[in-house]
C-alpha cells in the first residue's frame, strides 16, 4: 500500500489539552468515499478440506451467507462500536469471500458513501465481524482456527488516497 499524499501524521482524535475528541467534519465537503478491507481466516488443513467438500456449509448453516449478513450489519453499526466514528449513510457494501489457498479464506469488505468522512473503519469492521462469524460457524470443527491479519486495502475520496500495491 502507498499513500499518494505525504503529510505528517497527526492524531486527529486528541484535543489540544490531550483529551479524546470526535473530529469535527462539518467544514469538509461531502464527497464519494470508498474503502476496502480484508481479513484472513486460517483453518487447520483437515478442517479446510472438510469445509471445501461441504461447500462451506456446517451444521449451523451456510457459512458465507451468514458471514455476509453479519458483516453488513456490523458495517451499519460501526459508529455504535467505535466511540469516535461518525454515523454514516452507507450507500453500498459488498463482500468478496474466496479461498486464497488450501487453508486461507480471504474476506474482503468494500464500503461506499457520500459524506464528509471516510468509511475505512466500516470496511475493517465488516471484514473482521464477517471473519468472527466464520469462526463461530466453524468452531465446532476446531478451535485452532486463526483470524487475521485484518488490513485496510484501499481508500479514496478524502484527503488521503491509499491504493493497493
pLDDT in tens for each of the 165 residues of the chain? 445 556 667 777 777 777 777 787 888 889 999 999 999 999 999 999 999 999 999 999 999 999 999 999 999 999 999 999 999 999 999 999 999 999 999 999 999 999 999 999 999 999 999 999 999 999 999 999 999 999 999 999 877 788 766
Q: What are phi and psi of 70, to 5 degrees?
A: -65, -45
Rounded to two decimals, the pTM is 0.88
DSSP helix/strand/coil, 120: helix
Q: What is the pLDDT of residue 1?
A: 46
Q: What is the pLDDT of residue 24?
A: 79
Given CA atoms 108, 74, 68, 48 in this order, what sign does their dihedral have? positive
Q: What is the CATH number of domain 30-155?
A: 3.30.70.640
Q: How far apart are CA 157 and CA 163, in angstroms?
A: 12
Active-site choice (91, 96, 100, 136) = 136
Q: How far apart are CA 45 and CA 47, in angstroms?
A: 6
Q: What is the pLDDT of residue 16?
A: 76
Q: Where are the alpha helices (DSSP H) in the chain?
A: 45-53, 63-76, 78-81, 120-138
Residue 55 designated active-site:
no
Amino acid at each position: 500500500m502507498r499513500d499518494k499524499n505525504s503529510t505528517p501524521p497527526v492524531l486527529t482524535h486528541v484535543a489540544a489539552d490531550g483529551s479524546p475528541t470526535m473530529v469535527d467534519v462539518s467544514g469538509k465537503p461531502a464527497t464519494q468515499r470508498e474503502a476496502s478491507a480484508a481479513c484472513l481466516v486460517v483453518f487447520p488443513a483437515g478442517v479446510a478440506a472438510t469445509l471445501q467438500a461441504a461447500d462451506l456449509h456446517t451444521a449451523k448453516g451456510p457459512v458465507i451467507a451468514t458471514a455476509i449478513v453479519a458483516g453488513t450489519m456490523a458495517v451499519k453499526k460501526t459508529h455504535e462500536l467505535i466511540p469516535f466514528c461518525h454515523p454514516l449513510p452507507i450507500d453500498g457494501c459488498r463482500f468478496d469471500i474466496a479461498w486464497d489457498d488450501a487453508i486461507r479464506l480471504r474476506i474482503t469488505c468494500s464500503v461506499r458513501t457520500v459524506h464528509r468522512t471516510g468509511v475505512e473503519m466500516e470496511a475493517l469492521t465488516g471484514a473482521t465481524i464477517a471473519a468472527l462469524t466464520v469462526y463461530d460457524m466453524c468452531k465446532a470443527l476446531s478451535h485452532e482456527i486463526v483470524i487475521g491479519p485484518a488490513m485496510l486495502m484501499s481508500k479514496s475520496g478524502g484527503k488521503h488516497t491509499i491504493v493497493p500495491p
